[in-house]
């Protein structure tokens, strides 16, 4: 018989032997506890970070980002070499982009994938060579396309027939030649261990496979466009290779057919490689994934009697996700009686859905640990919630935390490096937190926190002296 509170726990959640442990798959490799029991990241104590920068605070472990970028690079290099081809790894900037992070990943040999004019400007401001950028998006504006062509973006991944005509007009006007890939929908949608394969997938991105040949034929007619190959992204937080294999097999039929009309030098299979958010997640090592995916493409090419194209991949979450840890201060705790003796413990922290929308948006699961000390209380099923005016403002839906968590404690939520800061908002006029990198015992602000002045600065009802016109 489970104790009453545990009847609220999802089946997958196990009661930890030690609710202060730091499961290695979920935390950056540098995570440890110091003699006082405080969480330490890359040699910097969470207590010092909170004292210096305040909370909430997103902490990014630089070595974790760099070593993951290196691991992807070398895994795909090795796998591609085994199949007689080459592979490029683009960091998907949508996961989290700042100039500092862009420089780290480029340093480690990655290229960068951007999907809006804003991301493009951040990458350019970081000094990323335009030729090593890929530009995505289902609704790139004419202005965004003009800018991309003007700066010499390496490839534009075209998403619609209208975009092809926009690029035709831009290249005709400027005399530029632009390399493009065509994004296709393979009908395979994958998430975690499952994938769904359909003839038609109902989504806004790319060309359905049956329409793609016509798009390529049109591109080949346009003097200013250089057709480089096909692109497909099948989903996110994928643990196995089955979805990639099925998708590649479908795309290779089209790839082979397109060779009749000219060269098809590249194939980009997108991103989506999963990470551990909780201790039950067990992602496949990248060396295994890279080897199996590239081997599947090579086998598919051999079966069709064609050369293996140059390959590219676009991991985002798997590069930066595990490197991020968000620190919060506990404000209140509350035990809510749900009837029949069942009690849910709510732990409210000083951030929430404005710095981590993933739980509210997708029902994502996270884990949490006390960060300022080790707790003494027995593991207690808890829900970590934010300070926003939404009952869905949940940061960690289910976690066993020490029963003595109290106001003033610091909580750390790991695996928040991807799609947290990049999805952050100012909901309820809560300023977005600073982002600091940590390495070798030092912390550096890489994105400063928003201030109340920032929040007020866009409000046209306030004059330079800070008062509303009606006050005058």
Ligand X SMILES: Cc1ncc(COP(=O)(O)O)c(C=O)c1O
User: Under the criterion CB under 6 A, does residue 92 sit at the interface with ligand X?
Assistant: yes
User: Under the criterion CB under 6 A, does residue 358 sit at the interface with ligand X?
Assistant: no
User: Under the criterion CB under 6 A, does residue 270 sit at the interface with ligand X?
Assistant: yes
Nearer CB in complex with ligand X: 225/238? 238
Q: Are 22 and 368 in contact (CB under 8 A)?
A: no
Among 13, 19, 95, 415, binds ligand X (CB under 6 A): 95
User: Under the criterion CB under 6 A, does residue 439 sit at the interface with ligand X?
Assistant: no
User: Under the criterion CB under 6 A, does residue 76 sit at the interface with ligand X?
Assistant: no
Q: Are 9 and 398 in contact (CB under 8 A)?
A: yes
User: Under the criterion CB under 6 A, does residue 93 sit at the interface with ligand X?
Assistant: no
Minimum distance between the CB of residue 238 and ligand X, rounded to whole angstroms?
A: 8
User: Under the criterion CB under 6 A, does residue 180 sit at the interface with ligand X?
Assistant: no
User: Under the criterion CB under 6 A, does residue 273 sit at the interface with ligand X?
Assistant: yes
Burial 3-33 (b: 16+ CB within 10 A, else e): eebeebeeeebeebeebbebbebbbbebbeb
User: Under the criterion CB under 6 A, does residue 317 sit at the interface with ligand X?
Assistant: yes
Known catalytic residue at 232 = no
User: Under the criterion CB under 6 A, does residue 167 sit at the interface with ligand X?
Assistant: no
Query: Per CB under 6 A, which region of 90-98, 252-260, 325-333, 345-353 contacts ligand X?
Result: 90-98
Burial 334-363 (b: 16+ CB within 10 A, else e): eeeeeeeeeeebebbbbbbbbbbbbbbeee
Query: Per CB under 6 A, which region of 12-20, 46-54, 311-319, 404-412 contacts ligand X?
Result: 311-319
End-to-end CA distance of the chain: 68
Query: Per CB under 6 A, which region of 63-71, 267-275, 330-338, 343-351 contacts ligand X?
Result: 267-275
Minimum distance between the CB of residue 192 and ligand X, rounded to whole angstroms?
A: 11
Q: Three-state SS string across 298-310, please?
A: HHHHHHHCCCCCE
Check 115, 232, 301, 389 and give the catalytic one: 389
Q: Are 449 and 433 in contact (CB under 8 A)?
A: yes
Pairing of strands 207-208, 178-185: parallel
Say how far apart CA 436 and CA 324 lie, in whole Å.
Answer: 10
User: Under the criterion CB under 6 A, does residue 236 sit at the interface with ligand X?
Assistant: yes
User: Under the criterion CB under 6 A, does residue 316 sit at the interface with ligand X?
Assistant: yes
Say how far apart CA 281 and CA 421 lie, in whole Å.
Answer: 22
Q: Are 324 and 31 in contact (CB under 8 A)?
A: no
Question: Which residues are identified as catalytic?
Answer: 389
Binding site for ligand X (CB under 6 A): 92, 94-95, 113, 136, 233, 236, 270-273, 314-318, 418
């Amino acid at each position: 018989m489970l104790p009453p509170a545990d009847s609220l726990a999802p089946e997958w959640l196990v009661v930890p032997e030690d609710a202060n442990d730091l499961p290695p798959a979920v935390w950056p490799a540098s995570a440890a506890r110091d003699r006082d029991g405080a969480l330490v990241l890359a040699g910097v104590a969470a207590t010092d970070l909170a004292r210096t920068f305040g909370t909430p605070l997103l902490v990014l472990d630089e070595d974790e980002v760099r070593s993951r970028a290196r691991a992807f690079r070398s895994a795909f290099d090795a796998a591609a070499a085994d199949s007689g081809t080459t592979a490029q790894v683009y960091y998907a900037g949508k996961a989290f982009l700042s100039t500092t992070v862009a420089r780290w990943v480029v340093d480690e040999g990655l290229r960068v994938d951007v999907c809006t004019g804003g991301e493009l400007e951040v990458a350019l401001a970081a000094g990323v060579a335009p030729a090593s950028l890929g530009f995505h998006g289902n609704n790139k504006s004419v202005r965004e396309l003009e800018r991309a062509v003007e700066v010499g973006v390496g490839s534009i991944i075209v998403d619609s027939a209208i975009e092809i005509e926009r690029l035709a007009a831009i290249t005709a006007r400027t005399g530029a030649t632009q390399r493009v890939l065509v994004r296709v929908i393979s009908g395979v949608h994958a998430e975690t261990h499952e994938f769904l394969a359909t003839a038609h997938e109902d989504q806004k991105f790319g060309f359905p496979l049956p329409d793609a040949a016509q798009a390529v034929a049109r591109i080949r007619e346009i003097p200013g466009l250089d057709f480089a190959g096909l692109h497909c992204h099948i989903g996110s937080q994928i643990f196995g290779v089955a979805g990639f294999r099925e998708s590649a097999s479908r795309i290779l039929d089209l790839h082979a057919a397109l060779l009749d009309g000219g060269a098809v030098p590249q194939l980009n299979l997108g991103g989506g490689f999963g990470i551990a958010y909780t201790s039950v997640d067990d992602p496949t090592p990248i060396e295994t994934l890279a080897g199996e995916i590239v081997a599947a493409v090579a086998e598919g090419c051999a079966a069709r009697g064609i050369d293996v194209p140059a390959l590219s991949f676009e991991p985002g979450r798997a590069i930066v996700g595990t490197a991020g840890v968000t620190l919060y201060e506990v404000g209140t705790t509350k035990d809510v009686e749900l009837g029949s003796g069942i009690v849910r413990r709510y732990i409210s922290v000083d951030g929430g859905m404005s710095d981590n929308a993933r739980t509210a948006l997708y029902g994502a699961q996270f884990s949490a640990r006390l960060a300022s000390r080790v707790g003494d209380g027995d593991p207690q099923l808890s829900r970590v919630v934010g300070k926003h005016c939404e009952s869905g403002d949940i940061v960690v839906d289910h976690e066993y935390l020490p029963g003595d968590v109290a106001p003033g404690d610091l909580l750390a939520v790991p695996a928040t490096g991807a799609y947290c800061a990049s999805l952050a908002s100012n909901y309820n006029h809560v300023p977005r937190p600073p982002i600091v990198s940590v390495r070798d015992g030092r912390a550096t602000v890489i994105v400063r926190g928003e201030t109340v002045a920032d929040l007020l600065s866009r409000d046209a009802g306030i004059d330079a002296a800070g008062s509303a016109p009606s006050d005058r």
